[in-house]
Amino acid sequence: MDGGFRPMIHRRDFLKTASVAGAALATGCHTLGTSHTASVYELRIYTIHPGKAEALHNRFRNHTLRLFKKHGIESIGYWMPADTADQRLHFLLRYPSREARETMWKAFTSDPDWKSAQKASEAAGPIVAKAENPFLVETDYSPKVRTGNVSKGGVWEMRTYTSTPERLSHLDARFRNHTIGLFAKYGMGNQGYFHKMADQPEGDRTLLYFLTHKSQDAAKASFAAFGKDPAWKAAREASEKAAGGSLTVNGGVKSVFLVPTDYSPTR
């Protein structure tokens, strides 16, 4: 089934060969295929100092988003974990290129309005304890990343897969040809699939993607049904046979459920 994995597949071939995915597309899933954008994404994850969450949200709500827009930085989405004990703000930004990002970010951090907002928000002490910011690019099979109420009141899930470097292409092929269509079949919304840029840590072995679900319980039910699907079992077996083993390292699948903030452009 997957023994002849190829690193790229055209949309017309995908629609011919992935019957399940084709059915999913017909029922309203995003159009899938090669991404034509050269955009660069930045996933920023801020670990918030205890008791400082509202100060951080107020800064974003009242200042940061406006200043990002002023300097050409596109806000895609802002989320907090559904588990309220996990105080990490996740947000996704988009730029025309990596070079543009450096120029835009420098202008933003040099802006007197930003410096004033940052100083005022941290009058009682630092807000962010830790910041992570991997740079990402869309996979060729990612649906178009959209803003707006795409989850329709549901929850988001960010999933990160770590493969061995030589097996990432096999993992991509399985998602391209099978997994995304089966996700849609079981009611999961495909919202964006990314690789880390080549110069990022584990850039040659990371797949990161976002799904939407009606609820966490719905996600659990969807994945249970997905895991029992004969088409998934066959695809998994064929892909691992072609790759010579599991496509992810031990413990290499991580998930966090997210809810949009009130100021997020994407819900």
pLDDT at 37: 54
pLDDT band at 161 (very low <50, low <70, confident <90, very high): very high
CA–CA separation, 266 and 189 (whole Å)? 14
* pLDDT of 21 over the 90 cut: no
Give the range among 4-18, 108-122, 155-169, 174-188 with minimum mean pLDDT: 4-18
pLDDT at 246: 96
Which of 91, 106, 136 is the last residue in one of the domains? 136
Closest CA to 95 of 39, 147, 35: 39
Bridge-partner residues for 120, per DSSP?
Answer: none
Q: Is 243 found in the same domain as 150?
A: yes
pLDDT band at 6 (very low <50, low <70, confident <90, very high): very low
- Read off the tokens for 77: 């989405």
CA–CA separation, 61 and 84 (whole Å)? 19
pLDDT band at 20 (very low <50, low <70, confident <90, very high): very low
Q: Quick check: is 220 in a domain? A: yes
Q: Quick check: is 2 in a domain? A: no
Q: Are 139 and 33 contacting, i.e. CB atoms less than 8 angstroms apart?
A: no
Q: Is 157 found in the same domain as 27?
A: yes
Q: Quick check: is 267 in a domain? A: no
Mean pLDDT for the stretch of residues 118-144: 97
pLDDT at 8: 36
Q: What value, to the nearest 5°, has the Cα angle with vertex 187 and ends 235 and 22?
A: 55
**Domain tally, the chain:** 2
* pLDDT of 2 over the 90 cut: no
* pLDDT of 242 over the 90 cut: yes
Q: Quick check: is 1 in a domain? A: no
pLDDT at 165: 86
pLDDT at 38: 79
- Name the percent of the chain lying above pLDDT 90: 85
Which DSSP category does 73 fall into?
Answer: P
CA–CA separation, 139 and 151 (whole Å)? 21
Q: Quick check: is 111 in a domain? A: yes
Q: Quick check: is 4 in a domain? A: no
Higher-confidence residue of 247 and 13: namely 247
Q: Which domain holds residue 112?
A: 40-136
Higher-confidence residue of 20 and 51: namely 51
The count of residues in the chain is 267
SS3 labels along 113-181:
HHHHHHHHHCCCCCCEEEEECCEEEECCCCCCCCCECCCCCCEEEEEEEECCHHHHHHHHHHHHHHHHH
Mean pLDDT for the stretch of residues 92-112: 98
Q: Is 200 found in the same domain as 154?
A: yes
Q: What is the mean pLDDT of the chain?
A: 89
The number of CA neighbours under 13 Å toward the Cβ of 246 is 9
